[in-house]
Amino acid sequence: MKDFSCQTDIIWLPDYISVQPETKDIWKINFGLNFLIETTEGNIISYPQLYKNCVDLIFRQHLHSPFIVYGELRPGYTSDSEIDIYTGYISQTKGKETPRGIIRIPAGYYACFSFSGTPEQIIAFNAWAKGNGMHKNQLILKKGAAFSVFSKTDSPAIYRTQYYIPCIPSDPTARLS
């Protein structure tokens, strides 16, 4: 498995960080014959069409920078699994009530993997981070939604991403941000 060079931080997110969605997509995944596996540049890619769909969804919407993609995998009703994907912007929601249409990101520890690359490299990086990256940093995946914050760079083909994965840190002195 190809390794990625990235910065990894363990951070605590407070309970007032939210997503103001612009779009919502629900993808149905079946793990039958259409869940094919291939390798690209030393990385195993399961269901390659899903990767292509992610690139199209995330990077073809022309959202202002920075933007966020928030999603969670859950059991499906008419499929094996479903992925809820929201694209939009970060907002802050203080108080007990969350305004209608706003998604509050649960407070807690998150592994934050920072990386720059093309959209295709970023999608492969996210798959690596959730598996090998978590293992390499001795982190335990926690149930919950993951999200990425994307920023444009001076190069039109390159984006900067911060991929946040809920986790249980192995280091009790994890950095609070």
Q: Which residue has the higher pLDDT, 69 or 111?
A: 111
Residue-wise pLDDT tens digits, 100-158? 888 888 999 999 999 999 988 888 888 888 888 888 888 888 988 899 998 889 998 89
Whether 79 shows a pLDDT value over 90: the answer reads no
Fold of the domain spanning 7-168: Multidrug-efflux Transporter 1 Regulator Bmrr; Chain A (3.20.80)
pLDDT at 116: 95
pLDDT at 113: 95
Q: Is the pTM of this model over 0.85?
A: no
Whether 86 shows a pLDDT value over 80: the answer reads yes
Whether 57 shows a pLDDT value over 80: the answer reads no
Which of 27-41, 44-58, 66-80 is predicted least confidently?
27-41
Say if strands 146-152 and 103-104 run parallel, antiparallel, or are unpaired.
Answer: unpaired
pLDDT at 176: 47
97: CB partners within 8 A, 6+ apart = none
Q: Are 48 and 129 in contact (CB under 8 A)?
A: no
Tell me the domain boundaries of the chain.
7-168
Residue for token pair 């802050």? 92
